[in-house]
């Protein structure tokens, strides 16, 4: 058993990719102790009232292009509740230190003299592809993985470096910029036949995978109405999806999947 969270403190909790069953034991303990839970849109909220029965819930969720509660205000909310003597849980989707701005919130708490703890979570960068049957590394296909944010466009030099590096690219929050990213990778020399998969709403009953070549993935996702939240996987491993919709039915993509899957 771990010690309970002290009063007048903040705990950044990674809630995993959305399924409450994938939260850690410590995450559940911190929620049970909480006086206030400041929750993100992608955090696991099903059953939250039971996990944090005494807590006031504060929704600061952001949607693409619409940040109703700016990050600076979120920082202030955390600090204000903690300085008032409350045990605050900042519940985030995935892991707070993987493109979750957790570092900024820790800095704000420490600057205000607030005790702060971080409870890691299962990052959606790896777990959402896994939910679709895609290993982000696979012997003979990919020996490295790079995680990117889709919020910020990459300059040509960085795109060329990523293409030279090889391995798997995992892009979070990248649906709205998918066309630009695909065009940039193609211009940087990536093979147009590179498999790509977009996994929507991982670990939920409405999970869906859309697969295509790099050259056609943007059109395929637009045609199917792919929306956030979705994780994009670029590289040979994307062909290993359990149940992809092969929008351009590329034979090479099917061959990679057949060769890479273990026999039996």
For strands 245-246 and 208-213, give the pairing: parallel
Q: Is 59 a catalytic residue?
A: no
Q: Find the catalytic residue in 19, 62, 183, 191.
A: 62
Q: What is the DSSP string of 187-238?
A: HTT--TT-EEEEEESTTSTT-EEEEEETTTHHHHHHHHT--SSEEEEESGGG
CATH 3.40.1010.10 residue ranges for the chain = 9-122
Listed in order, the ranges of the chain carrying CATH 3.30.950.10 are 125-260
Nearest to 42, CA basis, from 21, 74, 15, 78: 15
CATH topology of domain 125-260: 3.30.950
Tell me, what's the pLDDT at 3? 75
Query: What's the pLDDT at 251?
Result: 38
pLDDT band at 6 (very low <50, low <70, confident <90, very high): confident
Catalytic residue chosen out of the listed positions 23, 33, 35, 40: 40
Say what the pLDDT of residue 24 is.
Answer: 97
Annotated active-site residue in 23, 95, 173, 190: 173
Q: Residue 181 in contact with residue 244, Cβ under 8 Å?
A: no
pTM of the entire predicted model: 0.87
Q: So what's the pLDDT on residue 244?
A: 54
Average pLDDT, the chain: 90
pLDDT of residue 261: 45
Q: What is the model's pLDDT at position 110?
A: 97
Q: Identify the DSSP state of 132.
A: T
Question: What's the distance, CA 71 to chain centroid?
Answer: 18
Query: Per-residue pLDDT tens for 109-146?
Result: 999 999 999 999 999 999 999 999 999 999 999 999 99
CA-closest candidate to residue 188, choices 222, 165, 218, 212: 165
Q: What is the pLDDT of residue 68?
A: 77
Does residue 40 carry a catalytic annotation? yes
173 in active site? yes
Give pLDDT, residue 4. 78
Q: Answer yes or no: CATH 3.40.1010.10 is held by domain 9-122.
A: yes
Instruction: Output the pLDDT for position 84.
Output: 97
Could you give the CA distance from residue 71 to residue 60 in angstroms, rounded to a whole number?
Answer: 9
pLDDT in tens, 30-74: 999 999 999 998 899 889 999 999 999 999 986 665 557 999 999
């Amino acid at each position: 058993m771990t010690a309970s969270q002290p009063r007048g403190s903040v705990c950044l909790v990674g809630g995993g990719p959305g399924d409450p069953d994938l939260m850690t034991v410590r995450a559940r303990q911190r929620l049970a102790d909480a006086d206030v839970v400041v929750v993100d849109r992608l955090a696991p909220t099903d059953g939250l009232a039971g996990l944090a029965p005494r807590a006031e819930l504060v929704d600061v969720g952001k949607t693409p292009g619409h940040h109703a509660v700016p990050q600076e205000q979120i920082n202030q909310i955390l600090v204000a509740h903690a300085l008032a003597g409350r045990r605050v849980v900042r519940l985030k989707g995935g892991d707070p230190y993987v493109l979750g701005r957790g570092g900024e919130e820790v800095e704000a708490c420490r600057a205000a003299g607030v005790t702060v703890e971080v409870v890691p979570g299962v990052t959606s960068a790896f777990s959402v592809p896994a939910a679709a049957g895609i290993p982000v590394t696979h012997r003979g296909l990919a020996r490295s993985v790079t995680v990117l944010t889709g919020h910020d466009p990459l300059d040509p030099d960085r795109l060329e470096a990523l293409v030279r590096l090889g391995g798997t690219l995992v892009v979070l929050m990248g649906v709205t910029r998918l066309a630009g990213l695909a065009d940039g990778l193609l211009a940087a020399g990536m093979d147009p036949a590179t498999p790509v998969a977009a996994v929507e709403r991982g670990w939920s009953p409405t999970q869906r995978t859309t697969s295509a070549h790099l050259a056609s993935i943007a059109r395929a996702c637009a045609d199917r109405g792919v929306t956030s939240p979705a994780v994009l996987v670029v590289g040979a491993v994307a062909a290993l999806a359990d149940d992809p919709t092969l929008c351009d039915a590329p034979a090479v993509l099917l061959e990679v999947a057949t060769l890479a899957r273990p026999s039996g």
